[in-house]
Amino acid sequence: MFTGMETAVYVHPNALCESSRIGEGTRVWAFAHVMDGATVGRDCNIGGNAFIESGVTVGDGVTIKNGVLIWNGVTIEDDVFIGPGAIFTNDRYPRSRRMAEVRHRYDRRNRWLEPTRICRGASIGAHATILCGVTIGPCAMIAAGAIVTRDVPPHQLAAGQPARTKGWVCACGVPLDDALRCSDCQSQYRFDGSTLAWAE
């Protein structure tokens, strides 16, 4: 269904890619489904059985592992990692729309859809659940199985149900020591007010 970039986008023969807005170098694997109206950047990897609904925007260089489900209203910035089976939401109080008592709530999208944003370089762990309406900051890391119910600041490591801070991580992913230094790539961070930022 995509035109003009056939040589540059790889869609597995068992995948379903209905969007024409997929960047060069992106690969879509078996049994994944990218709906028409979704936008995906360059050099992304979309794992098997993943689902990307119409209205989703995904940046460049994003890794989306198998079984990830991303709904309308979710924006994923560049270089994000989304672990296997992580699930997003877009309706805080869902009901089946065919039910008489709820039809008034589903008349207009702004009565039920809450947007979510995952900022540049963040990682979402395996099996994490991201409630709608939150922003996960740049280079934050959400632990496997965490349930994120509120905003997560840049570089924070958040874990648990609901997710709470457990420390801070480097852009390269390794936890920072007490002096806010990365033992792996030697980057030094400091707090700029309450926000962690790269220092040197």
Task: Give the residues lining the site for a second copy (CB under 8 A).
Answer: 14, 16, 30-31, 33, 43, 47-49, 51, 60-63, 65-67, 69, 71, 79-81, 83-85, 87-89, 93-99, 101-102, 104-105, 121, 123, 125-127, 129, 131, 141, 144-145, 147, 160-161, 169-175, 184-185
Question: Which CB sits closer to a second copy, 39 or 81?
Answer: 81
d(CA 61, CA 7): 18
Query: Which residues face 195 on adjacent strands?
Result: 192
- We find the least distance from the C-beta atom of residue 24 to a second copy, in angstroms, to be 13
- Radius of gyration, CA atoms only, the chain: 18
The one-letter amino acid code at 171 reads: A
How many alpha carbons fall within 13 Å on the CB side of residue 87? 9
Reading the block at residue 15, the tokens are 């995948």
Bridge-based pairing state of the strands 33-34 and 16-17: parallel
- We find the least distance from the C-beta atom of residue 158 to a second copy, in angstroms, to be 13
- We find the least distance from the C-beta atom of residue 166 to a second copy, in angstroms, to be 12
Question: Which CB sits closer to a second copy, 121 or 137?
Answer: 121
- We find the least distance from the C-beta atom of residue 27 to a second copy, in angstroms, to be 12
- We find the least distance from the C-beta atom of residue 173 to a second copy, in angstroms, to be 4
User: Where do we find the tokens 């119409």?
Assistant: 54
Closest CA to 78 of 64, 60, 65: 60
Question: Which CB sits closer to a second copy, 111 or 190?
Answer: 111
Question: Which CB sits closer to a second copy, 20 or 63?
Answer: 63
Question: Which CB sits closer to a second copy, 174 or 180?
Answer: 174
Q: Would the CA dihedral through 108, 113, 119, 123 be positive or negative?
A: negative
